[in-house]
Structure 1
Amino acid sequence: MNKYSITEFIKNTEQEDKGEGFFELETPRLLEVNLDGLVWAKAGSMVAYHGRIKFEREGILEHGIGAMFKKALTGEGATLMKANGQGKLYLADSGKKIIILYLQNEAIYVNGNDLLAFEPSINHNIKLMRKVAGMMAGGLFNVRCEGTGMIAITTHYEPLTLRVTPGKPVITDPNATVAWSGNLQPEFQTDISLKTFIGRGSGESIQMRFEGDGFVIIQPYEEVYMQTQS
């Protein structure tokens, strides 16, 4: 265990401007937003800020009637907030590792639980995974982010990116799947034999199957979501 004087500790851990722009990784698990205007962030992810910043939950009619029904079905996990103003904003999510991606007129799907923040230039749209409704409450939705700008996603531990190529599909556990390229549409399949081995409930036998040309980001961790109430 390291021992520091207070002066040494402050020197080793204090905030430092790295000049990286709108999004900066202060630590691998803490995102600094140099705010001058608006940023979208996961509700509840603010850990500190200074300056004049106003927080507002995403309105239920923010994206029209269709989005309202999606939000009602997907629950709190998909809830976003807007931070508006000038200052420095610090975001984190349960100590998860943060990755900053710069989209250049591109699209990516992110598991709704793993999207931490994104610039207002990015269009976002909540997508339901209807085929797993009633099986995995927390894994029911993902967010399609599209455009040019930065997004910040989170993973438990170090992520791994798997290439998907024609004729070589990639199958993943939904609870370990963080994001995938915008041109891929996963299919859901069940594996009865796998369920027999694992024995941890029906959710364990559901798999995501990616076919085509793109990538899938996974994490070495299965996020366990609350089951829906019937």
Structure 2
Amino acid sequence: MAKTLQDFIQQTQQDDTKNDFFQLETERVLEVNLDGEVWSKMGAMISYTGGIRFERERVLEHGLGKMFKKAFTGEGTSLMKATGNGRLYLADQGKKITIFDLQNDKLCVNGNDLLAFESSIDWDIKLMRKMAGIMSGGLFNVALSGYGKVAITTHFEPLTLVVKPGETIYTDPHATVAWSGNLTPEFKTDVSFRTLIGRGSGESIQMAFSGEGFVIVQPFEEVYHAHTEG
């Protein structure tokens, strides 16, 4: 059924009445009510109002250790800092957005699925070296801890799997979005799966989570692109 332009504008226009620092403008657009600074994935800005300036993460901004890690992890970790006062709208290829309010919690997020986080949060890049030959763009995650808002993205609706003592949960790395920071995934190779999975790598890698915590997966297998230096 066709809509008048006025109907369409009324149904889709931004909501100026809400003022949380992070809020969902729609389930696929994050609104940041900025008064200070925020970190986001490079290229995630779709619109803004007010006096906001953007800068790419400088090489030494987070110390030598993170610079060396960035050299291994490629472009996927590039962050953008937005500073100032105004409204900032972020999105990532139409993926569904989920906001968490960390209260001295620890969360590990696949580097490709991290959309934005408050500058009050501590973060570090964790390399998953065993994955290097299998999924070149997805061998890192970002460990977040402390207090503040974090926004992650998923293809479609996320599913949270509860990890219980004595019961290991296995996931496809391409579908694994985040997990509780107290868990350390192991990697299991299953050559017998190769004809079923068809990754082209000759073997199937699975992530194995044991202990007590949770894992967030998405009903979609993310395709990572290898990063190569020129």
TM tier relative to shorter chain: over 0.9
Displacement of 1:91 in angstroms is 0.1
Give the number of equivalent residue pairs: 229
Please identify runs of 4+ aligned residues in structure 1 that moved more than 3 A: 227-230
Given the superposition, is the C-alpha separation of residues 10 and 228 from structure 1 closer, same or farther in structure 2, using an over 3 Å criterion?
A: closer
Distance 1:6 1:88 in 2: 24
Query: Who is 2:113 aligned against?
Result: 114
Per-residue Cα deviation, 1:25-79 (whole angstroms, up to 9, x for no partner): 0100000000000000000000000101000111111221111111011011111
Q: Is the 8 A contact 2:74 2:227 kept in 1?
A: no
Query: Who is 1:164 aligned against?
Result: 163
Distance 2:202 2:22 in 1: 35
Given the superposition, is the C-alpha separation of residues 110 and 36 from structure 1 closer, same or farther in structure 2, using an over 3 Å criterion?
A: same
Per-residue Cα deviation, 1:156-179 (whole angstroms, up to 9, x for no partner): 000000000111011000000000
Mapping 1:19-38, distance limit 5 Å? 19-38=18-37
TM-score by length of 1: 0.96
> What is the root-mean-square deviation in Å for CA atoms of aligned residues?
1.4
Query: Who is 1:44 aligned against?
Result: 43
Q: Is the 8 A contact 1:47 1:92 kept in 2?
A: yes
Displacement of 1:20 in angstroms is 4.9
Distance 2:119 2:202 in 1: 35
Distance 1:67 1:116 in 2: 19
Given the superposition, is the C-alpha separation of residues 191 and 27 from structure 1 closer, same or farther in structure 2, using an over 3 Å criterion?
A: same
* Structure 2, unaligned runs of 5 or more: none
Query: Who is 1:73 aligned against?
Result: 72
TM-score by length of 2: 0.96
Per-residue Cα deviation, 1:139-164 (whole angstroms, up to 9, x for no partner): 11000010011100000000000000
Aligned: 1:192 with 2:191: yes
Query: Who is 1:219 aligned against?
Result: 218
Given the superposition, is the C-alpha separation of residues 229 and 195 from structure 1 closer, same or farther in structure 2, using an over 3 Å criterion?
A: farther
Q: Is the 8 A contact 1:161 1:218 kept in 2?
A: yes
* Structure 1, unaligned runs of 5 or more: none
